[in-house]
Amino acid sequence: MTNFNPEDWLETAVRGLKDYASAGVDAAVQNNVSQDSGLDVFEVMMEFPSDEKIITLLPGKKSIIHFELDDIQDHILGFGKNVAKTVYDPINFHVSEQEGRRHILNFDVGIWTWDKSGGTTARFRARQILTNLFTGSQAIVNLREATDGGDGQLELLDFTGGHFTTDQVNDVRVFRQVNTNLQIRVFSRTPNPVVTSTIEDIGYDLGLVIDDNLQL
């Protein structure tokens, strides 16, 4: 499982989401007591599947669940310098300040099945699995715990939409779910901190005398 890294926020967020989804799908498949052998084989992809990819899978029993990152909203945390972390270097007497940001990641989520991979039944099951993974308070906790490396995690905001439709690829019916959106929130900080010097000691003159008669 990929842990979230706030200094490498986009890559670890996408990889962490894929690992969480893949593990959740595999666990759901293993717990499925259905006797429909071979219907619960899914490949999780972090992009919209190309026609070439679909054609290579059509002869087999593997369906597709895709997550396509289609929008990123970047926000500052507040006013001023937005300092998220301050690190003191006692050797060089420097303070490093790292700026923090908030990011909302929106994913288009889709399901692709065909007759040999289970047809509409596999599509129903994939939708149920996704709902369990991304809906409800327990799903919020599960995603956080799965991606938390002690320095940030993925936060589930919303999982909405979706309707069923049927397409055709190479004369093969493809049963899809479209227009489903997943929103994730993460917090990042800049990897190259701004370095400033610190005042380690205040010097004074032992011969300095304060004149009590000084007139202001």
Ramachandran bin of 93, using left for φ above 0, alpha for ψ from -120 to 50, beta for the remaining angles: left
pLDDT score of 208:
55
- Among 87, 88, 203, 106, residue whose Cα is nearest residue 151: 87
Helix axes 119-134, 137-147, angle to 10 degrees: 80
pLDDT score of 86:
59
Is 6-76+107-183 assigned to CATH 3.30.70? yes
pLDDT tens across 134-189, in order?
Answer: 999 999 999 999 999 999 999 999 999 999 999 998 889 999 999 999 999 999 98
Say if residue 211's pLDDT is above 90. no
- Domain ranges, ordered by start, for the chain: 6-76+107-183
d(CA 117, CA 61): 4
Say if residue 203's pLDDT is above 80. no
User: What is the phi/psi pair of residue 28, to 5°?
Assistant: -65, -40
More confident residue, 213 or 27: 27
pLDDT tens across 18-63, in order?
Answer: 999 999 999 998 887 554 555 568 999 999 999 889 999 988 889 9
Confidence of residue 199 (pLDDT cuts 50, 70, 90): very low
pLDDT tens across 71-107, in order?
Answer: 999 998 766 666 666 565 666 566 666 688 999 999 9
